[in-house]
Chains A and B, each alone.
Chain A
Amino acid sequence: QKEVEQNSGPLSVPEGAIASLNCTYSDRGSQSFFWYRQYSGKSPELIMFIYSNGDKEDGRFTAQLNKASQYVSLLIRDSQPSDSATYLCAVKGNSNYQLIWGAGTKLIIKP
């Protein structure tokens, strides 16, 4: 059974600090990795995707991928209260269509 694991949280971070969200996956053949944000009562929206080992930066967000250790992280710099949401990690394995979803980490940014 291919799995994607996330700490359910909640993860509480003070405003202005760095929030670090982690995700591990079981399928070593996984190729593509996604972070989605889901506000309460809303649908998931894509934040970033990453395919290659290393870091990928987009504004305040940085995705980090380590295929050898089978984890992917999302860093949010200068956290804002508006970043409070559930963050979903999704991983594409060998299939050409299926994403395997983590259960999400609830992030709370405290003013």
Chain B
Amino acid sequence: GAGVSQSPSNKVTEKGKDVELRCDPISGHTALYWYRQSLGQGLEFLIYFQGNSAPDKSGLPSDRFSAERTGGSVSTLTIQRTQQEDSAVYLCASRFGPSTDTQYFGPGTRLTVL
């Protein structure tokens, strides 16, 4: 694809509901990252995928957060029983592979938990 895509662009949900956020990386990119960015803050690393495996999940804030990647492509970040503090922009980035370092970001999903 031309770039990293994410959906939905905006998601408003009620406290306690589950949400799924989707990321479609650049075609051929084997590495995929999820970040969270709260208003006016820096990037908070959540999870890293290499292929379909997640060797680093250290940034997931709680067991309410999970992510998977299938076919070495699309990734889904799931937040169960959402809380108001989960409100943020969730950014996905992809990278070609081990020989490159540059991460390319998608447009993000703005999550608002009421």
Contact = CB atoms under 8 A, between A and B. Distances in A.
Do A and B bind? yes
Interface of A: 32, 34, 42-46, 49, 88, 92, 96-99, 101-104
A46 B50 CA distance: 21
B56 to A, nearest CB: 7
A98 B101 CA distance: 9
A105 to B, nearest CB: 11
B107 A98 contact: no
Given A43-B107, A97-B50, A97-B56, A34 B101 contact: yes
A92 B105 contact: no
Most buried by B among A42, A46, A99, A103: A99
Nearest to B108: A43
Contacts of A102: 42
A92 B101 contact: yes
Interface in B85-114: 91, 95, 98, 101-108
Contact of B91 (A32, A43, A49, A97): A43
A85 B63 CA distance: 34
A104 B40 CA distance: 9
Contacts of A98: 45, 48, 56
A104 B104 contact: no
Interface string B44-69: 01001010000110000000000000
